[in-house]
Chains A and B, each alone.
Chain A
Amino acid sequence: MTSPLKTRKEMPITPLSCPTVGSMGKTGFWRIFRPEINYSKCTRCALCWVYCPDAAITRQEDDSPKIDYDYCKGCGICANECPTKAITMQREEE
């Protein structure tokens, strides 16, 4: 990545980072296990959305979760937190 800043005078006094989608590229390929949601078991409690450390889960209009596989690294926290076991981890195919 290249910075648009060229001199010290343009710099802020301390580094401040604005959140952007995928500033480090698509990290989903790191994944070994893939979380899969069984929507018939999901109660829309949104705990997976709260706990996802990569903000790779969004809430849809009906409040059901949706996983963004471009960025989900497959850590499994969502599956661990899901109170109804609606999320299971499946090994990625080669």
Chain B
Amino acid sequence: MTQTIIDTANHLAGYAAKAARVKVIAAYPITPQTTVVEKIADFVETGKMDAEYIRVESEHSAMVACISAAAAGVRTFTATSAHGLALMHEALHWASGSRLPIVMAVVNRAMGAPWSIWPDLSDSLSQRDTGWIQFYCADNQEVFDTIIQAYKLCEDERVFLPAMVCLEGFILSHTYAPAKIPDQGAIDSFLPEYRSGWVLDVNHPYSHANLVAPEWYMEFRYMIQEAMENAKRLIPEIDREYGKLSGFEYGGLIEKYKCEDADLIVFTMGTMGSDAKLAVDKLRKEGLKVGSARVRVYRPFPVEEVKKLVEHAKMLTTIDRHISFGMEGFLASEIKASLFNQKDRPLIAGFIAGLGGRDVTSETIEKIVKKSQKCMHIGRVEKETEWIDLRE
């Protein structure tokens, strides 16, 4: 029976690990992630979850323990934030290169220095090239649902890659909201027993991720790229299939809102996508044909879908809760890169907002859209990247 609860996104991530029948959790606490693994520790300790809980001395070890457990043939889970994720960086490559379907919740937190515990996406976006699939969630329900979907995707033989399920610290992590947990039997039928491309076996010993000479290395990289392309095809299918059992669908790779007839489309990631929808409704009342596109999957990046989505748009706005110093926000770069070879492409104005947890409300987004509207009218973008609400 579907259960409706009121809880935080972090606790829902814990519920999702339990519902996915994860067998090994290796974790190290870090704000704002800690309550994810606290919830799981509680489940394991009180016998509600049949799993091995490994307390490790660092995030690097947490990932390595997950790699080992996944290689031994069980479903694994961990969670981290910011500097913990940065410390894991090396092991992230070992996980994807070994093609192990590990799922990790990343509770987004800004990177120091200076210290911050508040959210932006710079921690997980810095892990862009590690070969991990990256999902970004907009609400508590989506966190739960995406973790279940991520296991289904990662354990598909056409993929066999690890995935991060990202959620912004505090905006989601510690915020209570109602959510529905589907019936365990329905989840079990959606998500069968753990599957991976290979399993260690003491009776037929072998070692993995060994030295590969230049004649073969490129092919292993190519296979990861191929798996990413496969994931791009599978994510919308899995989202629809899961939607049938849960009642919630997220648009697959991109959550689109009133984009069909839009002259101007606002691209966001994470929780800003929810505020963007409010802004769209308000601006539509004022007569502006605007739509919202929330990029839910950042790796693989939905290049083809972006191309198709903006065919009739005149102006695109990207809002990044991230900055690649010396360039612009990644979302802006990726959208521009996706469209470069298109014959007729809209103008693109990039905005940086909400770094280190600065509030981005629907009013902020309205302001950004109105600035973009001016670019649309004059037919050019004078400032590639504009920082919003900056103390000048």
Contact = CB atoms under 8 A, between A and B. Distances in A.
Contact of A8 (B206, B219, B227): B219
Nearest to B211: A15
Main secondary structure of the interface of A (DSSP, over half): loop
A27 to B, nearest CB: 16
A60 interface: no
Contacts of A17: 206-208, 210
A15 B210 CA distance: 6
A8 B227 CA distance: 14
Nearest to B222: A8
Interface in B138-182: 160
Contact of A14 (B98, B205, B215, B222): B98
A19 B206 contact: yes
Interface string A14-51: 11111100000000000000000000000000000000
B199 to A, nearest CB: 10
B208 A16 contact: yes
Contacts of A14: 97-99, 197-198, 208-209, 220
Contacts of B215: 3
Contacts, number: 48
Contacts of B204: 18
B220 A11 contact: yes
A12 B219 CA distance: 10
A94 B91 CA distance: 45
A16 B222 contact: no
A8 B223 contact: yes
A5 B215 CA distance: 11
A15 B160 contact: no
Interface string B216-256: 10011011000100000000000000000000000000000
Nearest to A7: B219
In this complex, the interface size class of chain A, counting residues with CB under 8 Å from chain B, is 10 to 19
Given A8-B222, A11-B220, A14-B97, A19 B198 contact: no
The listed residue with most B CB atoms (<10 A of its CB), out of A11, A12, A15, is A15
A13 B197 contact: yes
A5 B220 CA distance: 13
A89 B65 CA distance: 38
Interface string B261-285: 0000000000000000000000000
A38 to B, nearest CB: 32
Given A18-B205, A19-B205, A19-B206, A13 B212 contact: no
B207 A11 contact: no
Contacts of B99: 13-14
Given A8-B219, A8-B223, A15 B212 contact: yes
Nearest to B198: A16
Interface of B: 97-99, 160, 197-198, 204-210, 212, 215-216, 219-220, 222-223, 227
Given A11-B219, A11-B220, 18 more contacts: A3-B216, A5-B216, A12-B198, A13-B160, A13-B197, A13-B223, A13-B227, A14-B98, A14-B209, A15-B209, A16-B206, A16-B210, A17-B206, A17-B210, A18-B204, A18-B205, A19-B206, A19-B207
Q: Which 4 A-B pairs have the closest CB atoms?
A: A13-B99, A8-B219, A18-B206, A17-B210
15 contacts: A5-B216, A8-B219, A8-B223, A11-B219, A12-B198, A13-B99, A13-B223, A13-B227, A14-B97, A14-B99, A15-B210, A16-B208, A17-B207, A17-B208, A19-B206
Interface of A: 3, 5, 8, 11-19
